[in-house]
Amino acid sequence: MYEMVSDSFKELNSFITKGHDLRICILDNNNVQFCTQHEKYFPVDKIYGYYDLILVPGWVYAEIAQSEHRRQYISSIPQQLLYLDEETDYLPLVDYHDLKLMKVFANASSPGSKPHRYLKKQIQEAESGRVDIDDEWIGNYYENGFDSKEEGIIKKNAGETSILALAFLLVHHYGNKIKQISISTSDFAVVEIKKKIMDYSSKHNLLNVPTINPISFLSTDVLLARAFRMGMIGEIELIYLRKSTHRKRVICIVRNNDSTVVPVDTVMETEDFLQLLKGNESYDIIF
């Protein structure tokens, strides 16, 4: 493949290589929608001011741009904001190794899903030597490997795959330059798929990603817990903001005074979630 470097990748590469201990946030449309709807509780400077760099993959922006309000919300983020194109900006992160990127994309989608099956077949053909990898395979993958949503131009789960692939590619390519990558999403599938990528990568040496990796999740419950702790919202606001997902799966850790922890992974009513936040125990909301 022709090694074309886009302006957005040049800007990304320059920003990261010149930095250290960088805190990066990758946006998903569902959390942007949530923050946009409740902007008075989640102003951009309070939510994103912690990060050094905000990234938006192309297929996520395609969803965000369906709403002018969402588009304006992210464009007002005061931090460095970059839009990355999957076709031009992902291959440089694996030194233009097409087969490696294929495997990253394949493992960044749910097992048995259409995009996973689509790439699995291409990977098998490429590894057997029966066919060469086409220069247009990334565009074809997003065009033909995903079902379309009602809007037509939007592909189901394309943004999710782009986000997970990008997070792992950044850690692989830039190593200890990155202190933290927070994926701002409330799509629980990313938690399971992240585990899948880690398992595959460790078994097959796909990516140079440490076992204790810097990828975390900025879900709506994490946002609510932070806002509650910071006094940006009270009990009434929290109950109101969580009303659309009154019963929701929560992953968290409750810490005891003797340094032991209680892992929690359960569907939690809003009242129970509120009691957790109000309680005396120290806690960390993972998702």
Percent of all residues in the chain with a pLDDT value above 90, rounded to a whole number: 59
pLDDT of 201 strictly over 60 = yes
- DSSP label at 54? E
Nearest to 62 by CA among 76, 74, 80: 74
- pLDDT, tens digit, for every residue of 224-241? 999 998 888 999 999 999
Q: In the prediction, which pLDDT does 127 show?
A: 84
Three-state secondary structure call for residue 204: helix
Task: Grade residue 36 by pLDDT with cuts at 50, 70 and 90.
Answer: very high
Average per-residue pLDDT for the chain: 90
Is a pLDDT exceeding 90 seen at residue 77? Answer: yes
pLDDT, position 154: 82
**Left (φ > 0), alpha (ψ -120 to 50) or beta: where does 46 sit?**
alpha
Q: Is it the case that residue 190 has pLDDT exceeding 80?
A: yes
* Residue 31 near residue 216, CB atoms below 8 Å: no
Give pLDDT, residue 210. Answer: 86
In the structure, what pLDDT confidence band is assigned to residue 54 with cuts at 50, 70 and 90? very high
Q: Is residue 90 scored above 70 in pLDDT?
A: yes
Summarize the confidence of residues 22-49 as an average pLDDT. Answer: 92
pLDDT digits (tens, 9 = 90+) for 120-156: 988 988 888 777 788 899 999 999 998 887 666 788 8
Q: Cα dihedral angle (3, 93, 62, 53), rounded to 10 degrees?
A: -130
Among residues 161, 159, 127, 167, the alpha carbon closest in space to that of 25 is found at 167
CA separation (Å) from 11 to 16, 17, 40?
9, 10, 32
d(CA 287, CA 284): 9
Judge whether 214 and 181 are in contact, CB under 8 Å. yes
Query: What burial class does residue 61 get, using C-beta atoms within 10 Å of its C-beta: 0-12 exposed, 13-18 middle, 19+ buried?
Result: buried
Taking only the tens place, the pLDDT of each residue in 94-106 is 999 999 999 999 9
Q: Is the pLDDT at 1 greater than 50, yes or no? A: no
